[in-house]
Structure 1
Amino acid sequence: MWEDFFSVQIFFIILRETLESAIIVSVLLSFLKQNFGSEDPKTYKSLQFQIWFGALLGMLICLAIGGAMIAIFYFLGNDLWSLAERIWEGVFSIISAVIISIMGLALLRINHLQTKWKSKLGRSFTLKNLDDIIIGDTDVAQLSRVGKIRYKVKLFTERHALALLPFITTMREGLEAVVFIGGIGVSQPFTSFPLAILAGGATGFFVGWIMYRGGNKMQLQYFLILSTAFLYLVASGLMSRGVWFLELERYVQLCDGQDMSEVGSGPGSYDVSNSVWHVNCCNGLTDGGWMLLNALVGWTNSATYGSVISYIAFWLFIVASLKVRLFRERNGYLPFIPFSWQRRRIRKQIGILKRAIATADDQYSEVNSEGRPSLTQQTETTVSGNEIEDGERDTLLS
Structure 2
Amino acid sequence: MLGNYLIGLREGLEASLVVCILVAYLVKTGRRDALRPVWLGIAAACAISLGFGAALEFGSQELTFEAQEALGGSLSILAVGLVTWMVFWMRRTARHLKSELHGKLDAALQMGTGALVATALLAVGREGLETALFVWASVRASGEGSATPLVGVLLGLATAVVLGWLFYRGALRINLARFFTWTGAMLVVVAAGVLAYGVHDLQEARFLGGLSTKAFDISSAVPPDSWYGTLLKGVFNFQPDPTVLQLVVWVLYLGVTMAFFLAPRRDASARKPSPTAA
Instruction: Return the TM-score normalized by structure 1.
Output: 0.53
Aligned to 1:331: 268
Aligned to 2:246: 307
Q: Which of the numbers 385, 391, 394 marks the counterpart of 2:274? A: 385
Task: Provide structure 2 residue ranges, at least 5 long, that are not aligned to the other structure.
Answer: none
Deviation at 1:290, TM superposition (A): 0.4
Number of aligned positions between the proteins = 273
Could you say what secondary structure the match of 1:215 adopts? coil
Equivalent AA in structure 1 for residue 172 of structure 2? G
Mapped contact 2:72–2:137 kept (Cα < 8 A) = no
Cα shift readout 1:335-358 (whole Å, capped 9, x = no counterpart): xxxxxxxxxxxxxxxxxxxxxxxx
Task: Provide structure 1 residue ranges, at least 5 long, that are not aligned to the other structure.
Answer: 1-5, 37-43, 125-132, 134-152, 255-269, 335-382, 391-398
Cα distance between partner residues in 1 of 2:56 and 2:137: 9
Cα distance between partner residues in 1 of 2:201 and 2:81: 16
Equivalent AA in structure 2 for residue 225 of structure 1? T
Aligned to 2:160: 204
Aligned to 2:3: 8
Aligned to 1:106: 89
Cα distance between partner residues in 1 of 2:130 and 2:83: 12
Structure 2 CA distance for partners of 1:285 and 1:26, relative to 1, 3 Å:
same
Q: Which of the numbers 242, 245, 257 marks the counterpart of 1:318? A: 257
Deviation at 1:249, TM superposition (A): 7.0
Structure 2 CA distance for partners of 1:280 and 1:231, relative to 1, 3 Å:
closer
Cα distance between partner residues in 2 of 1:118 and 1:83: 43
Deviation at 1:113, TM superposition (A): 4.1
Deviation at 1:17, TM superposition (A): 3.9
Q: Which of the numbers 33, 42, 50 marks the counterpart of 2:34? A: 50
Deviation at 1:286, TM superposition (A): 3.4
Cα distance between partner residues in 2 of 1:98 and 1:288: 30
Q: Which of the numbers 243, 252, 255 marks the counterpart of 2:199? A: 243
Structure 2 CA distance for partners of 1:81 and 1:210, relative to 1, 3 Å:
farther
Aligned to 1:296: 235
Mapped contact 1:7–1:192 kept (Cα < 8 A) = no
Cα shift readout 1:55-104 (whole Å, capped 9, x = no counterpart): 43123323443444333332221222634666555545444433332232
Cα distance between partner residues in 2 of 1:121 and 1:166: 10
Equivalent AA in structure 1 for residue 80 of structure 2? A
Could you say what secondary structure the match of 2:238 adopts? coil
Question: Percentage identity across aligned positions?
Answer: 19
Deviation at 1:234, TM superposition (A): 0.9
Cα distance between partner residues in 2 of 1:24 and 1:280: 44
Could you say what secondary structure the match of 1:279 adopts? coil
Cα shift readout 1:310-366 (whole Å, capped 9, x = no counterpart): 122112321453367824xx23699xxxxxxxxxxxxxxxxxxxxxxxxxxxxxxxx
Q: Which of the numbers 60, 66, 70 marks the counterpart of 2:43? A: 60
More relative contact order in 1 or in 2 (CA 8 Å, sep 6+)?
A: 2
Cα shift readout 1:123-148 (whole Å, capped 9, x = no counterpart): x5xxxxxxxx9xxxxxxxxxxxxxxx
Task: Provide the alpha-carbon RMSD of the alignment.
Answer: 4.3
Mapped contact 1:275–1:303 kept (Cα < 8 A) = yes
Aligned to 1:74: 57
Cα distance between partner residues in 2 of 1:54 and 1:88: 36
Deviation at 1:166, TM superposition (A): 3.2
Cα shift readout 1:201-242 (whole Å, capped 9, x = no counterpart): 222223323433163342x33332222122111112222343
Could you say what secondary structure the match of 2:216 adopts? strand
Aligned to 1:365: none
Equivalent AA in structure 1 for residue 187 of structure 2? L
Deviation at 1:293, TM superposition (A): 0.7
Cα distance between partner residues in 1 of 2:100 and 2:119: 11
Q: Which of the numbers 103, 117, 122 marks the counterpart of 2:100? A: 117
